Amino acid sequence: MESKKNQMEAGWTVVELLLTLIILSCLLLLAVPAVSEMGKRVEQALLLDLLSSDIQLAQMEALSRQKEVKIEFSPDMLQIVQEKRYLHRTKLPANYRIQTNFPNQSLYFRETGQAVGGTIRLLQGEIMVGKIIVQVASGRPKVELEWK
């Protein structure tokens, strides 16, 4: 008889279930902003890597075709141009923009693959989220993230 009574008493009370749900809800509320921030950082890193890959593409085009290649920067777009022909375009998402210190907002790769050094900043609103430094002469892009 006593074993049946113990089996019927086993289980969770309503209070225990409510406390468990409240604790799980609090943990979830703490985790959501962290996961959201991580997603934003991944997006920014991928966008910087995409822009860096475009710069490398322009350099390879200049080397392989042995002709000068130009990258034109506008606030929302990067375009690779060779002899007035567009080879590639990358449009930025609406909340991002590009800012550079290149003369006339253009980066030139000579037929040898060399370029003048400079910096391309990726901004989200007015906040810089990262930059790509184009190294003098070699033209290699170096990505730096700015996480705050």
Q: What pLDDT does 144 receive?
A: 79
Domain range for residue 94?
A: 39-145
pLDDT of residue 128: 92
Q: Residue 106 belongs to a domain with what CATH number? A: 3.55.40.10
| pLDDT reported for residue 39 | 82
Amino acid making up residue 67: K
Q: What are phi and psi of 93, to 5 degrees?
A: -60, 155
The answer to whether position 130 is within a domain reads yes
Q: How many domains would you assign to the chain?
A: 1
The answer to the question of residue 84 being in a domain is yes
- The answer to whether the beta carbons of residues 101 and 121 sit under 8 Å apart is no
Count CA within 13 A, CB hemisphere, residue 77.
Answer: 8
The stretches in the chain having pLDDT less than 70 are 1-10, 147-148
DSSP assignment of 35-55, as one string? HHHHHHHHHHHHHHHHHHHHH
Tell me what pLDDT residue 82 has.
93
pLDDT at residue number 8 = 61
Amino acid 147: pLDDT: 60
pLDDT at 13 (0 to 100): 86
- pLDDT score, position 40: 86
